Amino acid sequence: MKRAHRRTHFAIWAILGPVIFWVLALAILNRPDAPVNDALPQVLIEEPN
Amino acid sequence: MSHDYKTVQWTPYKKRFDLWMLGGIALYLAGFIAVSYTTQPAGHSFAPIQALLRATGTLAFLLLTFILCIGPLARMTDRFKPFLYNRRHLGVTTFLIALIHAALVILWYHGFSETNALVSIFISNPRYDSLAGFPFEILGFVALIIMFLMAATSHDFWNANLGPGLWKALHMGVYLAYGLLVIHIALGAIQFNKSAIYVALLAGSAITVVSLHIVTGIASLRPSDRTANEGWLKVAAVDEMEDARAKIVRPVSGEAIAVFRDGDKVSAVSNVCRHQGGPLGEGKIVDGCITCPWHGFQYRMEDGQSPPPFTEKIATYATRIVEGVVYVNPEPNAPGTPQSPSQIGASA
């Protein structure tokens, strides 16, 4: 890669890396205790039309 | 080399690579769905489409992680060079798998809405102030758009028309896409899936990708600590130079220089390939030509020109051997200028 591209490449990771780790840490440490159920409740599935 | 344009520049090697890749993808998807069903708690409802959308989502992310690791790893070991050569097919395939994932998500989670499904992604969840409830799908959608732009411009036609500089800048968007996807998963799947495997995969991917790029980035920016001899930079002792391979020298200013040994001859050229800026010094000499590890562009050692009918040219550099040590003049000749190679044994 050209020197300018190598500099840009490094700058991107120097900024992106800490942002990724910061959000990742926040997301993992603040996970809700009860999992959110993404399936339909049984009562809705069984309800006749 | 880009003498003319073909839809896909197949070679037997690339075909074999693609077959292995498709086989691996099929195996992963089948395995993921099978494991999802066998490990499902009793009484828990689980639609086949959910298994498929999770399988395609995890696969696309793992493939992207691998793609981003190929470059740095290829600098550390030759074993990853074949993947470097086939990275483009892997990238387009990753986009297609991500597209299937997105289509399934839209169909399953937004397809039953009265609102247009694409609009629903952006307005159905306005909880921007919540970490656990953040509308993470938007992040994935933006990453998908970036990946689409990259896949759509991956052909040499676009590289030639945009120019290598702009093309490279555009394709650095993959780093932003990766960052968005990490956050997409962190605020999405990680929040409502308690499995430690998801957390381990995500954190492992982020740590590996970021650290590999930071470490190799620092190494590639640091000028070579070279002894100068009348302004000429020391490369290495002749005995340390592997046949058909190069040593890369990074002057304080200007581009890096690739110094190749071919039998008893030593020549130096610019380390930057004219195609996409690939690191020529990480390639090798094939059929008497310096061959870029990225896409196989070739240049003659003696003048830095691509063999006919191709027209690409790179800068050449003067070399000399003093007491068994190779030196290179950091002042480049104009691209395509003939430069006599140094003869090993002639001056020692």
Q: In this structure, are residues B1 and B306 in contact, taking their beta carbons and an 8 Å threshold? A: yes
CA pair distance A22, B127, nearest whole angstrom = 20
Q: Give phi and psi for B306, each to the nearest 5.
A: -70, 145
> Which of A14-18, A36-40, B87-91, B111-115 is predicted with the least confidence, judged by mean pLDDT?
A36-40
What ipTM, to 2 d.p.?
A: 0.71
Can you tell me which residue has the tokens 């758009």? B145
Contact A16, B176 (CB under 8 A): yes
**Token reading at B28:** 């992963």
Chain B residues close to A7, C-beta within 8 Å: 221
Strand, helix or coil for residue B215: helix
Cβ-Cβ contacts under 8 Å, B255 against chain A = 2-3
Place of tokens 């690791």: B69
pLDDT at B2: 46
pLDDT for the residue numbered B208: 97
Helix, strand, or coil (residue B217): helix
Tell me how crowded residue B90 is: count the other CB atoms within 10 A of its CB: 17
Give the distance from residue A43's alpha carbon to the nearest chain B alpha carbon, in angstroms. 12
DSSP string, B296-340: --EEETTT-BPPTT---B--EE-EEEETTEEEE-SSPPPTT---P
8 Å CB contact between B327 and B241: no
User: What confidence score (pLDDT) does residue B4 get?
Assistant: 56
**SS3 (DSSP) at B249:** strand
Please tell me which of the candidates B192, B221, B255 has its beta carbon nearest to residue A36: B192
Distance from CA of B79 to the nearest CA of A (A): 20
To the nearest whole Å, the CA of B23 is away from the closest chain A CA by 31
Residue found under tokens 């609102």: B115
Q: Between chains, do B199 and A28 touch, taking CB under 8 Å as contact?
A: yes
Distance from CA of B346 to the nearest CA of A (A): 34
Residue B206 with chain A: CB contacts under 8 Å: 20-21, 24
Ordered alpha helix ranges (H), B1-135: 12-38, 48-76, 81-85, 87-105, 117-123
* Residues B195 and B36 sit within 8 Å (Cβ to Cβ): no
Encode chain B (348 residues) as per-residue pLDDT tens digits: 444 556 566 678 788 888 999 999 999 999 999 998 888 777 777 788 989 999 999 999 999 999 999 999 988 887 888 888 788 889 999 999 999 999 999 999 888 878 888 888 888 888 888 888 889 999 999 999 999 999 999 887 887 788 877 888 889 999 999 999 999 999 999 888 878 889 999 999 999 999 999 999 888 777 766 666 678 899 999 999 999 999 998 888 888 899 999 999 999 999 999 887 888 998 889 888 999 988 888 999 999 999 888 888 999 999 999 889 999 999 999 999 999 999 987 754
Confidence at residue B3, expressed as pLDDT on a 0 to 100 scale: 47
Cα separation values, B204 from A24, B199, B303, Å: 11, 8, 45
* Beta-bridge partners for B267: B260
Of B47, B131, B220, the CB nearest to A30: B131
Q: Which of A2, A24, A31 sits opposite B272 (nearest CB)?
A: A2
Q: Identify the pLDDT of residue B41.
A: 73
Distance CA B120, CA B128 (A): 15
Can you tell me the mean pLDDT for A35-47?
A: 57
Q: How many CB pairs under 8 A join A and B?
A: 106
Q: Do A6 and B221 touch (CB under 8 A)?
A: yes
- pTM: predicted TM-score of the whole model, two decimal places: 0.76
Give the per-residue pLDDT at A49: 53
Nearest Cα to B340, choosing from B323, B313, B319?
A: B319
Q: How far apart are the first and last CA of chain B?
A: 38
Secondary structure E strands in B149-249: 228-229, 232-237, 246-249
Report helix angle A3-29 to B164-171, nearest 10: 10
A16 neighbourhood in chain B, CB within 8 Å: 175-176, 178-179, 210
Tell me how far apart the alpha carbons of residues B69 and B216 are, in angstroms, rounded to a whole number: 11
**B67 — phi, psi (to 5°)?**
-60, -40
Judging contacts by C-beta atoms under 8 Å, the chain A residues touching residue B254 are 3
Contact B272, A1 (CB under 8 A): yes
Q: What is the pLDDT of residue B139?
A: 96
Across A4-22, average pLDDT: 91
The burial of B134, by beta-carbon neighbours within 10 Å (0-12 exposed, 13-18 middle, 19 or more buried), is given as buried
